[in-house]
């Protein structure tokens, strides 16, 4: 998980995920109050991790059947939602 550039206080998973769901809202450090903005590359990475696994699940489930598509998409999306906050990088505003 990323830390504040100024005071090295780590951001919580809740702070980062809330920032993601609120359209990449900047995060304020709970210790020193400095603002951190999501890097463009992290936004691109988050988009790729949301879209590519769904397409992959669609193509692989064509071999098995349509019933497993919904289950596989739910499992993939849950794992992506839980993992993306650890991949996001922020820069000081």
pLDDT at 38: 92
pLDDT at 12: 92
Model confidence pLDDT, tens digit, residues 2-21:
889 899 999 999 999 999 88
Contact predicate 20/29, CB 8 Å: no
Domain ranges of the chain: 13-92
Angle, alpha carbons 21-24-27 (nearest 5°):
100
Q: Provide the whole-model pTM.
A: 0.75
DSSP character for 37?
E
pLDDT tens-digit series, residues 36-66: 999 999 999 888 888 888 787 777 777 776 6
Mean pLDDT taken over the chain: 86
Give the Å distances, CA to CA, from 11 to 41, 51, 81.
19, 26, 17
Please give the structure tokens belonging to residue 11: 């951001």
């Amino acid at each position: 998980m990323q830390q504040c550039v100024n005071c090295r206080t780590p951001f919580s998973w809740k702070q980062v995920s809330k920032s993601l769901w609120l359209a990449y809202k900047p995060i304020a450090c709970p210790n020193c109050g400095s603002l951190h903005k999501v890097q463009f590359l992290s936004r691109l990475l988050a988009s790729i991790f949301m879209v590519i696994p769904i397409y992959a699940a669609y193509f692989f489930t064509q071999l098995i059947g349509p019933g497993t598509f919904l289950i596989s998409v739910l499992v993939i999306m849950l794992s992506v939602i839980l993992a993306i906050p650890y991949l996001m990088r922020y820069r000081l505003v």
